């Protein structure tokens, strides 16, 4: 099977690899669509993300969906011909975190395209059937693949306990910020504000329906949020840029007694936050890492046309053009590039 393998930073090789054989609990999936995530681009450019270092050739891509072509002998509920979205992180299912339902925190999770685990830029992937979610007829495999970043957004909204009537400020209008904003809206937020420093990103966010798009390169965040909220501040701030200045400014946007959810991954592990501000104003600061139990909700949001993920897609490239696709994905105005594996 054709497989795009990152052999060196900025160098993919199209290899012919053996088609995997599904184990008794697995499904063999003919991959159709795979999103290019910022983390894929980071591995492509730098060969590492923090402590995760690409030491052996690695197959990237963890936002994927396709068609089941074979099922293991113990698999029930899925059959050849079903279209599925693949949840990329498979936990041990036995540890205390798994048993509490927070399986994304499992220390033994194997996450696609995170060294040393291969991802989905390949014609076939064998995957545990309980992490393959059937897509209804109205949900495309492009949408199925983008259940992954949508899941990050849903989890962030859940971590922020976003509720009916809330005002939510999202910082950073990349795919994660946009989908966090739309997940917040779906959770009941009636006012959604977003920031960025790239005018095209802000214009796009406006077109997708945010109530206020703030260019933080030109406008003071606190002033803009105060103006919108009559000096109260946002109930929930979701930080989705990873920029240090933005992480620090979350406390300027949140109301007293509100919640800050940190999603964006800073290049620096330590970012100063004013803890006296946190204490005095009783701010809840929550980390948000990947997701658990979100795929069914993501699929429902797509099936019900509550969230439009296809509108985020700037281009779709065949697997054979993976190098070019990654170069395009790095352009600052691009939101989402996709690889169409079956078009190769
Ligand atoms: N915690 C998790 O589970 C998780 C999952 C996926 C991604 N992430 C992280 O979330 C962040 C967003 O991911 P993405 O794919 O949307 O990235 P992205 O780079 O496409 O988007 C980030 C956006 O932030 C904007 N930005 C930069 N500086 C800013 C500032 N000072 N204020 C406001 N906006 C600013 C950029 O212009 C860009 O539009 C990244 O840091 C990524 O690593 C975290
Ligand atoms: C969650 C996922 O989108 C992220 N890129 C990760 O590797 O954790």
Atom of ligand 2 at shortest range from CA of 113: 7
Separation CA 218–CA 40 (nearest Å): 31
What H or E segment, with its residue span, contains residue 144? helix 141-145
Neighbours of 69 (CB within 10 A): 15
In this prediction, residue 29 carries a pLDDT of: 98
Separation CA 261–CA 240 (nearest Å): 9
Separation CA 330–CA 193 (nearest Å): 25
Atom of ligand 1 at shortest range from CA of 175: 16
The DSSP symbol for 117 reads B
Which ligand sits closest to the CA of 154? 1
Pocket probe mutation, ligand 1, options 111, 112, 174, 338, max atoms within 8 Å of Cβ: 174
CA nearest ligand 2 atom 2, residue: 290
CA nearest ligand 1 atom 11, residue: 264
Mean pLDDT on 225-229? 98
Separation CA 188–CA 157 (nearest Å): 10
β-partners of residue 58 are 6
Q: What is the pLDDT of residues 168-204, one digit of tens each?
A: 999 999 999 999 999 999 999 999 999 999 999 999 9
In this prediction, residue 342 carries a pLDDT of: 81
ipTM: 0.99
Q: What is the pLDDT of residues 230-268, one digit of tens each?
A: 999 999 999 999 999 999 999 999 999 999 999 999 988
Q: What is the pLDDT of residues 291-324, one digit of tens each?
A: 999 999 999 999 999 999 999 999 999 999 999 9
As given in the structure block, the two tokens for residue 140 are 């495309």
Q: What is the pLDDT of residues 65-121, one digit of tens each?
A: 999 999 999 999 999 999 999 999 999 999 999 999 999 999 999 999 999 999 999
pLDDT over 80 at 135, yes or no: yes
Could you tell me whether strands 191-196 and 212-215 are parallel, antiparallel, or unpaired per DSSP bridges? parallel
Separation CA 65–CA 146 (nearest Å): 9
In this prediction, residue 343 carries a pLDDT of: 60
Helix (H, G, I), strand (E, B) or coil at 63: strand
Torsion, Cα of 297, 265, 46, 327 (10° steps): 50
What mean pLDDT, rounded, does the chain reach?
97
Comparing 343 with 242, the larger pLDDT belongs to: 242
In this prediction, residue 344 carries a pLDDT of: 47
Atom of ligand 2 at shortest range from CA of 114: 7
Could you tell me whether strands 63-71 and 52-53 are parallel, antiparallel, or unpaired per DSSP bridges? unpaired
In this prediction, residue 51 carries a pLDDT of: 87
CA of 39 to the centre of ligand 2 (A): 7
DSSP characters over 166-209: -EEEEE--SHHHHHHHHHHHHTT-SEEEEEES-HHHHHHHHHTT
In this prediction, residue 223 carries a pLDDT of: 98
pLDDT over 50 at 228, yes or no: yes
Q: What is the pLDDT of residues 24-80, one digit of tens each?
A: 999 999 999 999 999 999 999 999 998 899 999 999 999 999 999 999 999 999 999
Are 329 and 337 within 8 A, CB to CB?
A: yes
Q: Which residue from 112, 263, 105, 286 is spatially nearest to 176, judged by alpha carbons?
A: 263
pLDDT over 70 at 149, yes or no: yes
Non-local (6+) Cβ contacts of 304 within 8 A are: none
Separation CA 325–CA 341 (nearest Å): 12
Helix (H, G, I), strand (E, B) or coil at 257: strand
Non-local (6+) Cβ contacts of 168 within 8 A are: 157, 160, 162, 181, 184, 185, 189, 191, 192, 193, 234, 235, 236, 237, 238
pLDDT over 80 at 285, yes or no: yes
Neighbours of 45 (CB within 10 A): 12
As given in the structure block, the two tokens for residue 20 are 């995997």
Pocket probe mutation, ligand 1, options 152, 173, 176, 268, max atoms within 8 Å of Cβ: 176
């Amino acid at each position: 099977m054709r497989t795009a393998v990152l052999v060196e930073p900025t160098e993919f090789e199209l290899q012919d690899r053996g088609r995997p054989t599904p184990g008794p609990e697995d499904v063999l999936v003919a991959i159709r669509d795979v999103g290019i995530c910022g983390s894929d681009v980071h591995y492509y450019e730098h060969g590492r993300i923090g402590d995760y270092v690409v030491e052996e050739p690695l197959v990237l891509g963890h936002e994927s969906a396709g068609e089941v072509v074979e099922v293991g002998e113990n698999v029930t509920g899925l059959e050849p011909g079903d279209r599925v979205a693949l949840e990329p992180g498979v936990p041990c299912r036995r540890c205390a975190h798994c048993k509490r339902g927070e399986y994304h925190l499992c220390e033994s999770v194997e996450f696609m395209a995170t060294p040393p685990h291969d991802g989905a830029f390949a014609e076939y992937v064998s995957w545990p059937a309980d992490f393959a979610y059937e897509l209804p007829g109205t949900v495309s495999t492009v949408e199925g693949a983008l259940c992954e970043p949508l899941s990050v957004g849903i989890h962030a909204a859940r971590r922020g306990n976003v509720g009916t009537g809330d005002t939510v400020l999202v910082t950073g209008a990349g795919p994660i910020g946009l989908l966090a904003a739309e997940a917040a809206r779906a959770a009941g937020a009636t006012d959604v504000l977003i920031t960025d420093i790239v005018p095209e990103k802000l214009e796009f966010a406006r077109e997708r329906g945010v109530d206020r798009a703030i260019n933080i390169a030109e406008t003071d965040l606190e002033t803009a949020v105060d103006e919108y909220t009559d000096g109260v501040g946002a109930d929930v701030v979701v930080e989705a840029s990873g920029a240090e200045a933005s992480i620090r400014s979350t406390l300027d946007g949140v109301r007293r007694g509100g919640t800050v959810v940190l999603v964006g991954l800073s290049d620096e592990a330590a970012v100063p936050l004013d803890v006296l501000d946190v204490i005095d104003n009783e701010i809840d600061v929550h980390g948000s890492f990947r997701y658990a139990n979100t795929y069914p909700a993501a699929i429902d949001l797509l099936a019900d046309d509550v969230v439009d993920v296809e509108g985020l897609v700037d281009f779709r490239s065949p697997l054979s053009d993976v190098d070019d696709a990654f170069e395009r994905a790095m352009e600052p105005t691009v939101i989402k590039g996709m690889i169409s594996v079956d078009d190769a």
